[in-house]
Amino acid sequence: MKNRSREHVCFKVVGWCVAVVLAEYTETIVDPRGKGFRARACALPTPKGAWQGWIEFDPIDGAPRFRSPRETEQPTRTDVVQWADRLTSRHLEHALARALGRLGDSIVLQS
């Protein structure tokens, strides 16, 4: 699976860090009902200096973007970037299942 790493910088906005996109994955991830999603790995530093990572999913049909629960916590930015670079299609499929589970069927049933 190919992915394209992005510049990972943290912008402070009024004392808060804004989440950053670590990688955008080129392969479409498909749920069991055949709906396609584009995936990207994102991260945010915690107040204690560690980094939390999750996956965001953009439905191909234009429905609203949604995200998985936290998928990882890494001690450094370098470590969370390496996590994002190592994700496979299988990891992304499981993250999609967790994200859809949080939403129930609402996102899947939209057309």
pTM: 0.80
CA–chain centroid gap for 105, Å, is 19
Please state, as a whole number, how many other Cβ atoms lie within 10 Å of the Cβ of residue 110: 12
| Owner of token pair 């965001």 | 56
Q: What is the pLDDT of residues 45-61, one digit of tens each?
A: 988 989 999 999 999 99
Q: What pLDDT, on a 0 to 100 scale, did the predictor assign at position 105?
A: 53
Q: What is the pLDDT of residues 4-46, one digit of tens each?
A: 545 444 555 556 677 899 999 999 999 988 999 999 999 999 8
